[in-house]
Structure formats: structure tokens, C-alpha cells
Structure 1
Amino acid sequence: MREVNDTMLTLTDVSKTYNGARPRTVLRGVSLTLDAGEYVAVMGESGVGKSTLLHLIAGLDRPDSGRIQFDGKDLDKLDDDSTTLLRRQKMGFVFQAFHVLPNLSAAQNVALPLLLNGLEGEKASARIAEMLAAVGLEGREDSLPRELSGGELQRVAIARALVHRPMLLLADEPTGNLDHDTAARALSLLRELVNANGTAAIIVTHSALAAATADRVLQLTPGGLTPLGAQPPTSAVA
């Protein structure tokens, strides 16, 4: 098992520009170090690049410059198949819109990461039951998404993200569609399960409520990534 102080993710001077009729630089000179088991919140205004940051970390997109290392591997040096395998085995995802599959039951949605990683049968069934119980959905295994509330759907999404015990959880505005009380319960559950699994987490959010659950809070600005409240280096700002 990894020690909490082991560095498992490093971003060094990462930049990303989307080209087109009007090229737009979304990220500039972003650096970040994340230890195993650490829970970090990233806040920032709309359009500053929070979702892009997650996509780069997940290997869903490539930076124009800079370096991203995850679990000792340089993502730039991996081909698409290797990146997909790394993401499938070692990352979990929670989204604002839940993204549960409408024609699958709660248990079937939670089972997806296990199936993708080749885990089936009794061991998979036990893991699914364990996770559904952990998120308070025992007895709802066969419920379809249309039969579940927003809070319950987010709990299915949390269970699905953690059922394969990933090293890193990436959460993109995970409580944006929930009311305050439901969001608070979902955040408490997410933090509890991340701790229990020894998973590191990066949550990007507008919500001070969500950020308050983190070990540290960073602010993403056009000048980079800084501790919340700190001023970005003036030399890095366009």
C-alpha cells in the first residue's frame, strides 16, 4: 500500500491553447503536486479551464507544453491504448450531470468499471453490494435511474467512481445539480469514501461548500494555479 506522502501526480508548467479562428489559451503555466490520499479542491471562474485541467490529467486531451506525470508515468509518452488502460484501471470520475446510463439499474451502473477491468462473478457482486451499502442504496440495486432522486443518482455515480478502488478520483462540479442539503450529504459521503479507500482526489468546483471538504484549496486563474487567496505571479499573467 502506498504511503500518504508518496507523490502520485505532478503537473509542471502545463499550458493549453485551443486553436481556431480566434485561438484561446485556457491554461498557462499550471503546476501541481498531489500526494497519494490527498484531497484537493480547485476553484475558479467559469471558462478559466477547470474542466480542461481534469481532461489533461485524465489523458483525454494533451497539453501544448509542460509535463504531466501520473503513477510514475509520463502521459505524453503513452500511446492512446496505454492511456485508456491507465485511466480505466487507476482513475475514477464523478460529474455534475451524473452520467449514469438510463437503461441500466443502479447495480449495473456501478458494475461498469469492474466489467471494463475484467472483474466479474462473485467477487464483483460482493464489491458492488459493498459500495451500494456504503452509499446508502442497499435495497435499490435494481432501481433504474428514472426511479431515483438527484441525490441518489449522485450516490450511484460516487459508488461507480470508487468501486474499482482507483488511485485518483477526478470530480467535475459533482454537486452542481443538487440542493444545499443534498450536496452537503453527498460531499460528506464522497470525502468519507475517498478516505476509506486511500484514494487521492481533485474536485473542481464553484462551491465554497464543496471546497471546504478538501485538505487544501487552490485557485485557477489566467496566471496559473495558486493557493486560494494568493496572488498569481504577475509575470505569468497575460
Structure 2
Amino acid sequence: MLTLANVSKHYDGHAPRQVLRGVNLELRAGECVAIMGESGVGKSTLLNLAAGLDRPDAGQIVFDGHDLATLDDDAATLQRRHKMGFVFQAFHVLPNLSAAQNIALPLLLNGMRAKDAAVRVSFALLSVGLGGRENAMPREMSGGELQRVAIARALVHQPRLVLADEPTGNLDHGTAMRILALLRELAQKNGTAVLLATHSAAVAAAADRVLRLTPEGLEPGAPPPEAAGAA
């Protein structure tokens, strides 16, 4: 489903910095993998590369049989639109659209009729605990509610790959566990691959595998036991 082979990335600037070095990852359909690591080690960069939002300096990234480096901007956009769902750490919920309108965007962009999209959106709202909030505007919603809108938007079109950057960071423990169960259900039912970056041991413990990102690359890891009760 998703393969990263010897991927490296650095950023130029006043203080050039190597963010990723020789990262290797194999993510299978239906699998949920959690990436843990210290702040600033490159977890968000890794997700951006996997989504084709950024390009590596070295190495190869293959998603669903396509080498992302060979796709032009339009082709990469279509790949993301049809086959990927992304939960951004900063939500990126559009401020002038209601909760339902934000969630419907992937469906409408993929050509679904508005009537059919409305049914799918209603189910998505219920799934993340936002039933009855379809007309709420982002300015009227809490951080946790905005996070759930972002999650529903990432899942509503049943993508092949979900990339989630701290998907439960603004949620209470109970809601976080509910969202994780939803991600696992999607993975198992539709063969969706889920790659998530998290600091939470409880979130990582719900994944099939835990990998730890270090300056030397990705290595097998486990969530720290002292945080196992927190999300």
C-alpha cells in the first residue's frame, strides 16, 4: 500500500537541518501503524512526504503502486483527493463553511451528488459524536469539536490511506478511544491503511504496530508504560 525506501529530508535556512535520514517503512492495506518520537524529530514531515505534499531529498515513496516522485502536481492532487484522508494537527477546517459543508468537501470534489453526500455526511457526524451539529460554524465550535470535524472529513470518502497527525490531541480520553475505534473499524472493514503520528501511549497501544522515529530513522518501538492511561 505505502512504501518508503531510504527516505531523507532536510530543510535549508539560517540553520540547515537534517530532519529525516534513511527512513524505511512498509504499510500494508488494513494495517494501523503509530509513529512516536520526540517533538521536532520529523513525524509531521514524514506524513507530509507520504501524502505527496512535500518531496524527499533522497529515497523513494510508493503509494498504491505509484512512485509519488513521478507524478506531476495535478496527478498528485487527484491521488490525495480520491485515495487519501489527512487529519492535520492544525485542523485546517474552512472557517466560512459549516461542519457539514467542511465534511462534504471530499465527496463533492470527487463528484458525488449533493443528496448522496448529505447522507454520508450525516453518518460521519454521528460517528464522531457531532450529531445535530451539522450547521455549526467553526467559530462556534471548541477545539475538540473542530478536531472531530477534521477527522470526519478525512474519513468520509473511505480513502485507501489515512494519515493522521496527533488526531486525538484535543480530545478527552473517552472521545479519543471512540475515534481510534472508528479508525480501526475503517481499516478492517475497507482495507484502509492508517499511519498516525502521536505522543500518546494510549493511542499508540491501539495500533497494530508502533514505530519510533529517531534522527537515525524508524525503528520498532513501544508506547511508554507510564502514559498508558492518557490520550
In the alignment, is residue 98 of structure 1 matched against residue 91 of structure 2? yes
In structure 2, which of residues 143, 147, 154 is the aligned counterpart of residue 161 of structure 1? 154
User: Runs of 5+ in structure 1 lacking a partner?
Assistant: 1-7, 230-238
Instruction: Give the aligned residue type for 1:58.
Output: A
Match of 1:5 in 2: none
Q: Residues 99 and 133 of structure 2 are in contact (CA less than 8 Å); yes or no, is this contact kept in structure 1? A: yes
The Cα offsets for residues 8-48 of structure 1, whole Å up to 9 and x where unpaired, read as 11110001111233321110000000101100000011111
What is the root-mean-square deviation of aligned Cα atoms in Å? Answer: 1.7
Q: Does 1:36 align with 2:29?
A: yes
Moved more, 35-44 or 189-198: 189-198
**Conservation of the 8 A alpha-carbon contact between 1:15 and 1:65:** yes
Q: Are 1:73 and 2:66 matched, yes or no?
A: yes
Structure 1 position 121 matched with structure 2 position 114: yes
Shift in Å, 1:206: 1.1
TM-score, normalised on structure 2? 0.89
TM-score (norm 1): 0.86
What is the CA deviation profile of residues 109-140 of structure 1, one whole-angstrom value per residue up to 9, with x for unaligned ones? 11111122122232222221222222232322
Number of corresponding residues: 222
CA distance in 2, matches of 1:80, 1:136: 35
* One of 122, 130, 133 as aligned partner of 1:137: 130
In structure 1, give the amino acid aligned to 2:132.
Answer: G
- The answer to whether 1:227 aligns with 2:206 is no
Runs (5+) with no aligned partner, structure 2: 223-231
Report sequence identity in percent.
71
C-alpha separation in 2, matches of 1:194 and 1:155: 18
Q: Secondary structure at the match of 1:110?
A: helix
Decide whether the 8 Å contact of 2:94 with 2:138 is kept in 1: yes
1:172 to 2:178 alignment? no
Encode CA deviations 1:203-228: one digit per residue, 9 max, x unaligned: 00111111111000000011111100
Q: Which amino acid aligns with 1:128?
A: V
The answer to which of 199-208 and 19-28 deviates more is 19-28
User: Which residue in 1 is equivalent to 2:183?
Assistant: 190
Kept in 2: contact 1:154–1:186 (CA 8 A): no
SS in 1 for 2:164: strand
Equivalent position of 1:207 in the other structure: 200
Supply the AA of the counterpart residue of 2:25.
Answer: L
Q: 1:53 aligns with which of 40, 46, 53?
A: 46
